Structure 1
Amino acid sequence: MYKRILLKLSGEALKGETSYGIDPKTVNEIAEQIKDAKQLGVEIGIVVGGGNIWRGKTAEGLGMDRAQADYMGMLATIMNGLAVQDALEQHGVPTRVMTAIDCDKVAEPYIRRRAIRHLEKGRVVIFVGGLGSPYFSTDTACVLRATEIEAEVVLMAKNHTEGVYDSDPRKNPDAKLFTEITFSEILEKNLQVMDSTAASLCKDNKKPLIVFNMNKRGNIVKAVQGDKIGTLVKVE
């Protein structure tokens, strides 16, 4: 079983079956799964996306300044992080939210050594605000934080997707699910698991990645225990 993990939650995962925003029922179900994993004794860091509220890249395509749009996306991740924190603490799980951009009324500033200390004390740490700089995705923030806190693995929880496919399973019913694949293959085949910067960071820092369907109850626990679910993306 892993001792310290970094869980990536997409913003889309928090909206449930709704078209936009945060669905409290879905967030509560996610919190229950995280609590189950925490009870195994694993140290858990979480990076949340903001796509359920705002996407900087989409706004850029509509003519908005990319940097401005990305900063708005960072604020969206803070809102999501606070929602996850509230749900976890309602289940009795001590939680800290740490942000890469100044927002001291609602979250602590991100300081690496303090984050590690929170983990050692048994608190779940939610990293928000991306990297605090535009042009970087929350996937990149996820891998960088995982490396900084010395997490053993990155768990990428997907919404209604079993893992990594050779093509989009929503468009191609014959898409092949990989049980194992390397980061080099992901980059060479341009598989849209995460952006190329994040994939390169994983590869360079020898950080394995497990991509799995978070909508199946118990999958987070299975991933933490090292069970074979979804797709294992490994370093050569």
Structure 2
Amino acid sequence: MPASTSQKPKYRRIVLKISGEALRNDTTGASIDSAVLDRLAEELRSIQKVGTQVAVVVGGGNIFRGLAGARANGTDRTTGDNMGMLATVINGLALMDRLEKAGLECRVMTAIPMDRIAEPFIQRRAT
């Protein structure tokens, strides 16, 4: 049974790992399914409503899968890993956009320098 807003949440903070594959629409082949993003935004809003902070770690396998993708198309491994990390940022931006439209505060953080797109990951800022 869901906790009411007057109850103290069991956890103050949680980490949710979302596979990039979970964002995919298997029927249409679209890499990012807007209906999935809508569902995630609603679920995350309900978690936040009870007072729990959520950190989301999203993958990029729906767009490109590092080593496996590199092997499949003859791409250099380092290039393939970089492509996979960029795919992860793309998914993070898509989710951020949907969460902000749902009225939730959100930020995308990455260890890859790209100041105009996402904040650098700094542990103290992430907490």
Matches within 5 A, 1:1-236: 1-17=10-26, 18-62=28-72, 63-116=74-127
- Secondary structure of the residue that 2:108 maps to in structure 1? strand
Which residue in 2 is equivalent to 1:185? none
Alignment length, in residue pairs?
Answer: 116
Shift of 1:64: 2.0
Residues 20 and 53 of structure 1 are in contact (CA less than 8 Å); yes or no, is this contact kept in structure 2?
A: no
Residues 15 and 22 of structure 1 are in contact (CA less than 8 Å); yes or no, is this contact kept in structure 2?
A: yes
Shift of 1:16: 3.1
Shift of 1:57: 2.1
Question: Greater helix percent: which structure?
Answer: 2
- Secondary structure of the residue that 1:30 maps to in structure 2? helix
Residues 6 and 47 of structure 1 are in contact (CA less than 8 Å); yes or no, is this contact kept in structure 2?
A: yes
In 2: Cα distance, 1:16 partner to 1:36 partner? 24
- Secondary structure of the residue that 1:47 maps to in structure 2? strand
Residues 27 and 84 of structure 1 are in contact (CA less than 8 Å); yes or no, is this contact kept in structure 2?
A: yes
User: What is the aligned-residue identity percentage?
Assistant: 49
- Secondary structure of the residue that 1:44 maps to in structure 2? strand
Please report the TM-score for the alignment, with normalisation by the length of structure 1: 0.47
In 2: Cα distance, 1:28 partner to 1:114 partner? 26
In 1: Cα distance, 2:81 partner to 2:34 partner? 25
In 2: Cα distance, 1:60 partner to 1:15 partner? 20
Aligned AA for 1:5? I
- Secondary structure of the residue that 1:12 maps to in structure 2? helix
Shift of 1:80: 0.4
Q: 1:1-42: CA deviations, max 9, x gaps?
A: 111111001101111333241111211111111111111101
Shift of 1:102: 0.7
RMSD: 1.2
Q: 1:156-191: CA deviations, max 9, x gaps?
A: xxxxxxxxxxxxxxxxxxxxxxxxxxxxxxxxxxxx
Residues 5 and 43 of structure 1 are in contact (CA less than 8 Å); yes or no, is this contact kept in structure 2?
A: yes
Q: Which 5+ residue runs of structure 1 have no aligned equivalent?
A: 117-236
